[in-house]
Amino acid sequence: MRVRDQAKAMLQAMISDGSLASDERLDEVGLSHRMGISRTPLREALIALEGEGFVRSVPHKGFSVTTANEEMVRELFPIIGALEAQALRMSGEAVIASAPVLSALNNRLANAKNKAKSHEIDRAIHHGFVEHCGNPRLLKLLETQCALARRFDGAAARGIANPAGACAQHAKIIAAIEASDLARAGELLLLHWREGEITVINWLKKNT
Amino acid sequence: MRVRDQAKAMLQAMISDGSLASDERLDEVGLSHRMGISRTPLREALIALEGEGFVRSVPHKGFSVTTANEEMVRELFPIIGALEAQALRMSGEAVIASAPVLSALNNRLANAKNKAKSHEIDRAIHHGFVEHCGNPRLLKLLETQCALARRFDGAAARGIANPAGACAQHAKIIAAIEASDLARAGELLLLHWREGEITVINWLKKNT
DNA sequence: TATTTGCATATTGTATACAATATGCAATAC
DNA sequence: GTATTGCATATTGTATACAATATGCAAATA
C-alpha cells in the first residue's frame, strides 16, 4: 500500500473521530514529521481529501480541516438522501428479496445496547437499502458523503431522544420495499434523512 | 494561480474534448515535459482528477484516462438525474419566479443553429433548474458529474434524432415549475435524464 | 521448443532541495 | 501615537534527486 493511501486513511479517520477538529490548520512539515513520512505523500493525501470535502486549501496558506457545522448538515444530508433514494429505486427485485434481512436488522437496532452498536447497525441497514443498485459509482459517491456525515455521529447519538423514531421510519421504508413500491420507499428514505438533518441541527444548536 | 490548478483544468478539458482518449496511458515524465512543468504539480493535478473520476491510477503502474463507455453512462446519468432533481426540489420560489427565463431559453434551444450552441443553451437551462437550490455543495457535486458527462456530448449531439424531444421534455418540466409543483418537476427531470441515457447508449451501440 | 530465471530498463513513489509567497515585527516617518 | 514600509522568518509550491517496483527481453535449462 502506498504511503499516501495510508496517510489519507489515517487523516480521514482522525477527522471523522474529531482528533483533527474543524478549522484546524494542518502544518505540512509538522504533520509529516509526526506521521513519520515526507511532505510529498502527505500533500498528495491532502489533495485527495480536499476533493472529498474533508479539508480545504487556500493557495500559499495551506490546508485546514473543513467546518463541521449546521451549514454542512444542511448541505450534506439532502445529498445523501437523494443518492440513497435513487440507489434504492434502482435496486429492483434484489432489495425486495432482502426485506426480511433488513427487518431483522431493524429489530436489532431497536434493542441495541450502546450508541456505537446503534450506529453500526444503522449503517448496515442503510447499506442494505442501496447495495443492490448495481451502480458502483453511485455507491462510491454515497460512501464518501456518508463518511463526511460520520463527523456528526456524536451529535446524532446524543440528539436522538428516542431511537424508536428512527426504527419506526426504517420500518415504514422496509414495508414499502416489501410491497415492491420502491418509489414510495425512496420518498420515505428522503424524509428519513430530512428528519435526521433536523435532529442533528437541533442538537448542534443546543450544544454550541 | 497554482501550476497544479492550471494543469488540472487543462487535463480535464483535454479529456472532455477527447484530446486524451479513454484508457490512454498518462506518462508522467512525457506529459510533464510536454506541458512545461515538473512531475510534482502534474501528479497533484492527476490525483485531484482521480477523485472526480476523470482518471484512474494503479500503484506502480500509473495513471490512465477512465473509460467513457456505456457502463459509465448507465452509472453517471442516474446520479446526475437524482442530484438535479433534488436541487430543483430544494429551490423554492426562486425557480418558480425564473420560469419565464427558462421558457425563453427553451425556445432558443428549439431554434438553435448548430450543435455547439444547442449544448450551450441546454446547459444554461439545466443550470437554471438548479442554481437557486441554496446548496453549494450539491451544485459543486453536480458540476463535477456534468463535466464527466460532457465526454458524451458528441454522442448526444449526433444521437438526438429530433432535438424537439428534449425541448418538449424541458417544456413539461418548466410547466410543472410554473405550477409550483417542484416535486412533479423533479420527477420529470429524472425521466429526462433517463431518456438522455437511452439516447446516448443507443448512439454508442451503433457507433462502436 | 517452451519455460523460467535473471538482469537491464523504464516508470512510479518518496524524499529533499530550492523558489515564491505570506506573515509578523520592528523601525521610521508623519 | 499611529500608520506604513521594509525586512526576517516561516510555510507553501515546484523542481529534482533518489528508491522501489514493474516490465520486457535474453539466456539458460528442461
Residue B162: what pLDDT? 55
Helix (H, G, I), strand (E, B) or coil at B112: coil
Tell me the per-residue pLDDT of A169-194, one tens digit each, with 9 for 90 and over.
999 999 999 999 999 999 999 999 99
Indicate yes or no: strand D within 7 A of the C-beta of B38. yes
In the predicted structure, residue B116 carries a pLDDT above the cut 90: no
What percent of chain B is modeled with pLDDT above 90?
85
**Helix ranges restricted to H, chain A:** 3-16, 28-35, 39-52, 70-89, 93-97, 99-110, 115-130, 136-149, 153-159, 164-178, 182-206
Calpha distance A207→A159 (Å, rounded): 10
Asked if residue B128 lies in contact with residue B173, where contact means CB atoms within 8 angstroms, the answer is no
Are B82 and A85 a contacting pair at CB < 8 A? yes
pLDDT band at A156 (very low <50, low <70, confident <90, very high): confident
CA distance linking residue A33 with residue A12, whole number of Å: 18
For B146, the grid coordinates are: 456534468
Confidence of residue B169 (pLDDT cuts 50, 70, 90): very high
In 3D space, the residue among A164, A183, A163 whose CA is nearest the CA of residue A173 turns out to be A183
Contact A56, A148 (CB under 8 A): no
CA distance B2 to chain A (A): 7
Q: Class assignment of domain A3-65?
A: mainly alpha
Closest among A143, A50, A146 to B49, alpha carbons compared: A50
| pLDDT, mean of residues B106-133 | 91
Cell of A45: 493525501
Cβ contact A106:A170 at 8 Å: yes
Mean pLDDT for A38-51 is: 97
Cα distances from A43 to residues A54, A155, A182, B40, in angstroms, run 14, 30, 43, 10
Residue B159: pLDDT over 60: no
Q: Which long-range contacts (C-beta less than 8 Å, at least 24 apart) are formed by B90-93?
A: B90/A78, B90/B133, B90/B134, B90/B135, B90/B138, B91/B129, B91/B130, B91/B132, B91/B133, B91/B134, B91/B182, B92/B132, B92/B134, B92/B182
Average predicted confidence (pLDDT) for chain A: 93
With CA atoms as reference, report the closest residue to B87 among B153, B150, B132: B132
Domain regions of chain A by residue span: 3-65, 70-206
**Contact: A44, B40; criterion CB under 8 Å:** no
A11-20 long-range contacts (CB < 8 A, ≥24 apart) are: A11/A45, A11/A46, A11/A49, A11/A54, A11/A55, A12/A49, A12/A52, A12/A54, A12/A147, A15/A49, A15/A54, A15/A55, A15/A65, A15/A151, A16/A147, A16/A150, A16/A151, A18/A151, A18/A154, A20/A65
CA distance B74 to chain A (A): 8
Q: Is the CB of A26 under 7 A from strand D?
A: yes
Q: Phi and psi (nearest 5°) for A121?
A: -70, -40
Gap between the Cα atoms of B4 and A44, Å rounded: 12
| Residue that wins the pLDDT comparison between A195 and B157 | A195
Residue B58 binned pLDDT confidence (cut-offs 50, 70, 90): very high
Cβ(B140)–Cβ(A144) below 8 Å? no
The continuous run of DSSP H or E covering A65 comes out as strand A62-65
Give residue B158's pLDDT band: very low, low, confident or very high (50, 70, 90).
low
- Report angle CA B100, B108, B125 to the nearest 5 degrees: 60
The confidence score (pLDDT) of residue A114 equals 82
Closest CB to B136: pick one of A44, A50, A75. Answer: A75
pLDDT in tens, A17-40: 999 999 999 999 999 999 999 999
Interface of A with B (CB under 8 A): 1-2, 40, 43-44, 47-48, 50-53, 59, 72, 74-76, 78-79, 81-83, 85-86, 90, 135-138, 141
Share of chain B above pLDDT 70, in %: 97
Please give the DSSP secondary-structure letter assigned to residue A66: P
pLDDT of the residue at B208: 72
Tell which CATH classification among 3.40.140.10, 3.20.20.70, 1.20.120.530, 3.40.605.10 matches the domain B70-206: 1.20.120.530
pLDDT at position B154, please?
Answer: 81
pLDDT digits (tens, 9 = 90+) for A98-124: 999 999 999 999 888 788 888 999 999
Asked if the domains at A3-65 and A70-206 fall in one CATH topology, the answer is no
CA proximity to B142, closest of A78, A43, A156, A24: A78
Instruction: Tell me the shortest Cα–Cα distance from A183 to chain B, in angstroms.
Output: 11
Instruction: Output the pLDDT for position A158.
Output: 63
Predicted pLDDT at A133: 97
* Residues A124/A108, Cβ–Cβ less than 8 Å: no
With 90 as the cut, is the pLDDT of residue B19 above it? yes
Residue B121 C-alpha cell reads as 443553451
DSSP B166: H
